[in-house]
């Protein structure tokens, strides 16, 4: 008689890892309000799914600098000089960059690029909204 093979249950309080290389429904639009994110268990480190003014982005939860949990950091914009007021600055592209909590390396959510060491850019994943579902291809 064949015994049914099952995967081991995830540890208490942990979601099972989702398979890589597939498209996954990771949330509803309402579960990730604008200005927030959700960490989903895809791959070894997880993937952060961000809602920036109604546009969704997905980025690896791993900083290539020293392996920090990137998505535990703050999402914010960039400050640039305000040429209309000498010595002043303005924030642009609010919430479009994520900064590692360990050493503040910043990465653009849309592309995964960093100005610190462009060759150390990180992986981003395609996201689409179908009805009220947020889907990530990872």
| Domain ranges within the chain, ordered by starting residue | 21-135
- Check if the beta carbon of residue 136 is closer than 8 Å to that of residue 59: no
State pLDDT tens for residues 38-48.
999 998 999 99
The yes/no answer on whether domain 21-135 falls in CATH 3.40.50.11540 is no
Burial code (b: 16+ CB inside 10 Å, e: under 16) for 71-92 equals bebebeeeeeeeeeeeeeeeee
* Each residue's pLDDT tens digit, 73-121: 988 666 566 777 777 766 556 668 899 999 989 999 999 999 888 899 9
pTM of the model: 0.76
Q: By the 8 A CB rule, do 49 and 134 touch? A: yes
């Amino acid at each position: 008689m064949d015994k049914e093979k099952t995967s081991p249950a995830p540890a208490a309080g942990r979601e099972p890892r989702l398979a890589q290389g597939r498209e996954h429904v990771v949330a509803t639009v309402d579960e990730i309000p604008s200005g927030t994110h959700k960490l989903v268990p895809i791959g070894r480190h997880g993937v952060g799914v961000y809602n920036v003014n109604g546009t969704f982005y997905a980025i690896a939860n791993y900083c290539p600098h020293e392996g920090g949990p990137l998505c535990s950091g703050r999402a914010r914009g960039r400050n640039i000089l305000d040429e209309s007021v000498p010595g002043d600055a303005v924030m642009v592209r609010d919430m479009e960059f994520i900064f590692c909590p360990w050493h503040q390396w910043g990465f653009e959510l849309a592309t995964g690029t960093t100005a610190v060491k462009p060759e150390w850019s990180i992986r981003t994943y395609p996201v689409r909204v179908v009805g009220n579902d947020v889907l990530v291809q990872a």
